[in-house]
Structure 1
Amino acid sequence: MSQLRVREDYRGLTGPEKAAILMLALGEEHASRLFVFMDEEEIKELSQTMANLGTISANLVERLCVEFAEQLSSTGSLVGSYESTERLLLKVMDRDKVDSIMEEIRGPAGRTMWEKLANVNEMVLANYLKNEYPQTVAVVLSKIKPDHAARVLGLLPESFAMEVVMRMLRMEAVQKDVLDDVERTLRTEFMSNLARTNRRDAHEMMADIFNNLDRQTENKFLAALEERNRESAERIKALMFTFEDLGRLDPTAIQTLLRSVEKDKLAVALKGASESLRDLFFSNMSERAGKIMREEMSAMGPVRLKDVDESQMHMVQIAKDLAAKGEIIISEGKGEDELVY
């Protein structure tokens, strides 16, 4: 029988092999403490490498330990990540607290699973969701942005979409195990990350989604909803902020909005506006700007309703953004200066 080969070549060691040797050198007690900070895939890879190491010379082990100690004591040698930090925190506090801390750490640049879903084409997402339970779809649509949810909802089969709407209206705060199941499935399908729960009033959420539907689809859903649950339909309509509601803006707010909207979008939006609202916008333009705008609207001829809807929704969204930043006030129309967005 040939003698077992003893590994001596330090430069030939891979990263996983170095980690495996260190784990074995630390001994069972210390190594087991490190394993709890690793995820399942890391443990599998490291375990497989350890099992296939063979015999390592004492000189090689010593050299590896010395190098590790030197690197550990030098600046910049440790590499941290959101994932490793999150795993460490989970060992000492509950998931909700960890989610809150990680959200602050990530800041605006953080990419949660739901943010990544925003980049998934609505047709792809709708085709996937139409084979899921309506309650699952309701959870997903409640977690993504209203305009994206609206496009997905409009692509689902009509009867199925109504089931989803009804479940969204009845939905309380989503149970953690249910949300975890949905997240796990979506993570598998779209290779995304975990996100924290975002609780919103169901009717307010549906109003935002309905605001982003095209006029025909919106009317269809509201009519169907009125037949099944008139109270919810009325509540949603009261919460919806439409293009015509821009008529509640004061002159200063309208002028701020006019400065923020692209001229071509404004022309198309006003083309499909009511006469009173159109006059309100023109009365807040200079005589020259109003004349140019009227000429542009006249020159464009007939405009598709779809384009009008998109331009009007664009203006509504800009108004909401300005209100959220405190640059304009959208009142309730009752003589009060309450913000509705």
Structure 2
Amino acid sequence: MRSPEDESGFTGAQKAAVLMLALGEEQSTRLFSMMHEDEIKEVSSAMSQLGSVRAELVERLCVEFGESMGGLGHLVGSYESTERLLQRALPRDRAAQIMDEIRGPAGRTMWDKLGNVHEAVLANYLKNEYPQTVAVVLSKIRPDHAARVLTLLPDSFSIEVVMRMLRMESVQKDVLAGVERTLRAEFMSNLARSTRRDAHEMMAEIFNNLDRASETRFVAALEERNRESAERIKALMFTFDDLGRLSPVAVQGLLRAVEKDKLPLALKGASESLRELFFKNLSERAGKMLRDDIEGLGPVKLRDVDDAQAAIVVLAKELAANGTIEIGEGKDEELVY
């Protein structure tokens, strides 16, 4: 494809391609890394077909870009300014639909967004869809997320979905587009309007970050005012004492990751049973060294103990989030011997 004679004949993708080539390989690589796959394809396609572009034309395009950016002054992007622009360019209902989607779970594409929807919410919606539609959706999201959704669907329905997935070949583009339109119109827009974070879950996280004295004070005060809410919050909280519910495998995983100077300080203020849980999952030599470290600390400030325990709780949550350990293991879990 021959390049236009002046910058007015360039498409947006061609202008971007010229600018990126002018910036050089290192900067262009960084820009590509921030683009969506569709944008990369569009710009790289234009780049591959540019042919020879005169130096003065490259310079004019770079100057045009610089002037357009410099002339904007201070920029403030917000939902409100975005919505005003969309309403000027699109029909009101379409602009509202796009804003609902933007305010929904984060993600560049519909499938990215679905990956950020809680599995229980997604399963509750999908159980009323056709098995073939559900099969398409589960084939497009991450396998771990699809697995969690699948287990929450009714048994007979989930098996039907599995069978459809097994028989499914490549999904036709128009079918996929239809599923996306349905999800966007019926699910994501409703989700954006109705999703509200559970207040008890939010307070549990806040209480988890209080020092011990403040936590005790707030929980006791809340129990007097609203015992039901207090119990819900306590059930959602994960504290250092809750580490006592971990399996030996989880404790060993935590021990491998924890900062060695924090463990003695944290266990200094722990119950004897919780200390024993950690000792049992160490070698005899390592357990003796840990006991000696705890005894060697002498008197310590309660705030320092709280800080060390809080750091280990945060670490346990991070390890659980990435699948290294499980922190939800209870005594009623089914075991295999």
Aligning the two structures, in what range does the TM-score lie when normalised by the shorter sequence? 0.3 to 0.5
TM-score by length of 2: 0.47
TM-score by length of 1: 0.46
